[in-house]
């Protein structure tokens, strides 16, 4: 079989390993993806050697200048990291063989499509002075190729599934990423043992969820998690929205509405990242056309990595996932004269922000990511309210400034307002039964105005960077002592500056003096 890693560093690594031991077995996703014809950029390899993986790994790392880490000394697992290019490091896990044979080692793996190996033997030959050729043999003791051809995900054994609860979540994630179905016995075992997912580390659950939500159709995964009983244990706040009735303008329960918002958020994310947009329709085309002039600036903002390297665009899908989780605990039912029930969810965004903060902390996301999500969720209703308040007119500069002031993220110099506005688009377009929704053009125009205000170098950014008056000037010119009153006056003046009501320092001081006289008169 023809196979070799594309990156020269991995080729050098295999050559060095074959000088230490033979054969060398390449296992896992690299084998699967090669057989599927998926042209993935390989950044990590999983390798099995017959014995002494730690010692072999140490020698190869020293020879090639890779970093060496004893990942699991009890199980004889080493990790080698190639960091010549820090922005795109390569990693290789080298493990000693379990069970005495490669067939037994593969029996310990999760699914048959991941339980195949390339056995690489260095047979010599080749031209004088050239590299020796490596002969590659595919090993498939558990019928992984057959499952690939049937596009199904099947456990290697019941024991391999029970050995690691995270494999239940991996089954769903692989099914979503590859477009596979999960084999019946595997499904039944997941349903029986779904509660054991609580035994897995939060970090591993988080990473599997993140990969699933990064797919083009993560809602398929969410619906599968719900049907298998896993969602209740991992994202209980979301599971409680299933069947939660809502009143007009909503036409679906809280859970189905959330899935629809997630689908729209995926479209926005993919647009920003230059990826194919799934399920495009008239609504998608309309906001693409509307915001095309802002694409470069929006892309700059949303491709900024957060603390962990995750992009803001990727977080849009998570904001959509969690935006309404406060509804289950804030819903009230009000009987109407026509015997219908009106459901209300007062302050669900504020409550939901707190719930999202707790859940994301439990999943061990970074503080910056948690704060961003909480800020976006707490303010996701504001764009809707602003658009309704400025019917048939532009959103005022004062209202725009207040919006960005409320959505300022304490952990980033960039405003969370841009993230909130894009979530609002996904939310609004998923709310109504009709498509496009009522007043769609006017709504997009208001969002466009708010986006432009936030991105305009002469608007919000200039106001924050160059206030007309500072605290020292205010106290000196108006004879004020330090205290809360100075801070309040400064914030009011920033708002007036943003609204265009004052343009010079003297105008700002005059306005502040008038406010002081008015407040004294009232007191």
- Asked whether 384 and 405 are in contact (CB, 8 A), the reply is no
- The partner residues of 436 in beta bridges, in order of sequence, read none
pLDDT of residue 474: 81
More confident site: 6 or 379:
379
Residue 243's φ and ψ, nearest 5 degrees, are 85, 0
Looking at 185-340, which runs of residues are DSSP E strands? Answer: 332-335
- Asked whether 463 and 493 are in contact (CB, 8 A), the reply is no
Query: Which three-class secondary structure state does DSSP give residue 37?
Result: coil
Section 487-493 average pLDDT: 82
Residue 49, burial from CB neighbour count under 10 angstroms (0-12, 13-18, 19+) = buried
Cis check: omega of the bond before 249, within 30 degrees of 0: yes
> Is the confidence at residue 461, as pLDDT, over 70?
no
Counting residues of the chain whose pLDDT is more than 90, the rounded percentage is 75
* CA dist., res. 48 & res. 326, Å (int): 47
pLDDT of residue 131: 38
Tell me the pTM: 0.88
* CA dist., res. 48 & res. 93, Å (int): 8
- pLDDT tens digits along 62-98: 999 999 999 999 999 999 999 887 767 899 999 999 9
Counting residues of the chain whose pLDDT is more than 70, the rounded percentage is 94
> Is the confidence at residue 134, as pLDDT, over 90?
no
* Selection from 120, 115, 114 nearest residue 136 by Cα: 120
Poorest-confidence range of 1-10, 219-228, 458-467, 482-491? 458-467
* Selection from 291, 249, 287 nearest residue 381 by Cα: 249
* Selection from 63, 68, 77, 76 nearest residue 14 by Cα: 63
Looking at 297-407, which runs of residues are DSSP E strands? Answer: 332-335, 341-344
Strands 77-82 and 90-96: antiparallel
Section 327-347 average pLDDT: 93
DSSP state at residue 36: H
- Going from the C-alpha of 498 to that of each of 387, 408, 459, 492, the distances in angstroms are 19, 15, 7, 10
- Compute the mean pLDDT over every residue in the chain, rounded to the nearest whole number: 91
* CA dist., res. 143 & res. 307, Å (int): 41
- Asked whether 45 and 93 are in contact (CB, 8 A), the reply is yes
> Is the confidence at residue 413, as pLDDT, over 50?
no
Q: What is the torsion angle, in degrees rounded to the nearest 10, for the CA atoms of residue 193, residue 220, residue 243 and residue 437?
A: 170
User: Mind giving me the DSSP string for 460-496?
Assistant: HHHHHHS-S--HHHHHHHHTPPSSHHHHHHHHHHHHH
- Asked whether 454 and 410 are in contact (CB, 8 A), the reply is no
pLDDT of residue 410: 40
> Is the confidence at residue 389, as pLDDT, over 90?
yes
pLDDT of residue 123: 52
Poorest-confidence range of 31-45, 171-185, 191-205, 236-250? 31-45
- pLDDT tens digits along 171-197: 999 999 999 999 999 999 999 999 999
- pLDDT tens digits along 244-278: 999 999 999 999 999 999 999 999 999 999 999 99
Section 11-26 average pLDDT: 95
pLDDT class of 456 with cuts at 50, 70, 90: confident
* Selection from 130, 225, 128 nearest residue 170 by Cα: 225
* CA dist., res. 173 & res. 181, Å (int): 11
DSSP state at residue 305: B
Section 16-41 average pLDDT: 92
Residue 244's φ and ψ, nearest 5 degrees, are -80, 105
Q: How many Cα neighbours within 13 Å face the side chain of 350?
A: 5
Poorest-confidence range of 62-66, 177-181, 453-457, 519-523? 519-523
- The partner residues of 94 in beta bridges, in order of sequence, read 47, 78
Query: Which three-class secondary structure state does DSSP give residue 46?
Result: strand
End-to-end Cα spacing for the chain: 88
């Amino acid at each position: 079989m023809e196979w070799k890693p594309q990156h020269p560093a991995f080729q050098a690594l295999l050559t060095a390993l074959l000088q230490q031991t033979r054969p060398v077995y390449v296992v896992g996703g690299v084998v699967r993806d090669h057989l599927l014809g998926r042209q993935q950029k390989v950044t990590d390899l999983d390798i099995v050697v017959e014995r002494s993986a730690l010692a072999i790994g140490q020698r190869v790392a020293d020879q090639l200048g890779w970093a060496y880490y004893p990942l699991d000394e009890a199980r004889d697992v080493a990790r080698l990291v190639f960091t010549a290019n820090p922005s795109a490091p390569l990693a290789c896990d080298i493990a000693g063989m379990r069970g005495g044979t490669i067939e037994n080692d593969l029996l310990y793996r999760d699914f048959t499509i991941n339980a195949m190996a390339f056995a690489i033997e260095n047979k010599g030959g080749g031209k004088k002075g050239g590299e020796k050729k490596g002969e590659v043999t595919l090993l498939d003791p558990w019928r992984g190729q057959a499952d690939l051809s049937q596009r199904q995900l099947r456990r290697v054994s019941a024991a391999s599934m029970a050995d690691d609860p995270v494999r239940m979540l991996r089954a769903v994630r692989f099914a979503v990423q590859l477009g596979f179905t999960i084999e019946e016995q595997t499904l039944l075992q997941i349903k029986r043992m779904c509660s054991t997912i609580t035994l897995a580390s939060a970090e591993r659950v988080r990473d599997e969820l993140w990969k699933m939500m990064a797919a083009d159709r993560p809602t398929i995964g969410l619906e599968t998690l719900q049907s298998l009983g896993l969602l209740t244990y991992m994202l209980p706040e979301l599971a409680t929205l299933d069947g939660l009735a809502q009143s007009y303008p909503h036409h679906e329960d809280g859970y189905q509405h959330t899935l629809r918002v997630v689908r729209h958020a995926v479209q926005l994310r993919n647009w920003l990242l230059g990826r194919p947009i799934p399920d495009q329709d008239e609504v998608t085309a309309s906001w693409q056309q509307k915001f095309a002039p802002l694409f470069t600036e929006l892309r700059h903002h949303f491709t900024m990595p957060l603390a962990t390297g995750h992009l803001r665009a990727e977080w849009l899908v998570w904001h959509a996932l969690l935006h309404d989780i406060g509804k289950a605990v804030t819903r009230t039912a009000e009987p109407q004269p026509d015997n219908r029930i009106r459901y209300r969810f007062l302050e669900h965004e504020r409550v939901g922000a707190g719930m999202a903060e707790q859940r994301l902390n439990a999943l061990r996301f970074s503080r910056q990511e948690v704060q961003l999500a909480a800020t976006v969720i707490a303010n996701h209703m504001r764009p809707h309210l602003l658009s309704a308040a400025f019917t048939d007119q532009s959103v005022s500069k004062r209202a725009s400034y207040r919006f960005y002031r409320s959505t300022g993220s304490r952990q980033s110099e960039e405003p969370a307002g841009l993230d909130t506005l894009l979530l609002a688009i996904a939310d609004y377009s998923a709310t109504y039964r009709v498509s496009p929704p009522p007043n769609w053009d006017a709504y997009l125009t208001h969002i466009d105005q708010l986006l432009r205000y936030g991105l305009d170098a002469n608007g919000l950014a200039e106001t924050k960077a160059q206030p007309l008056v500072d605290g020292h000037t205010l106290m000196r010119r108006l004879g004020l002592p330090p205290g809360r009153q100075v801070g309040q006056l400064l914030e009011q003046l920033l708002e007036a500056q943003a609204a265009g009501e004052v343009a010079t320092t003297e105008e700002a001081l005059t306005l502040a003096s008038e406010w002081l006289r008015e407040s004294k008169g009232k007191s």
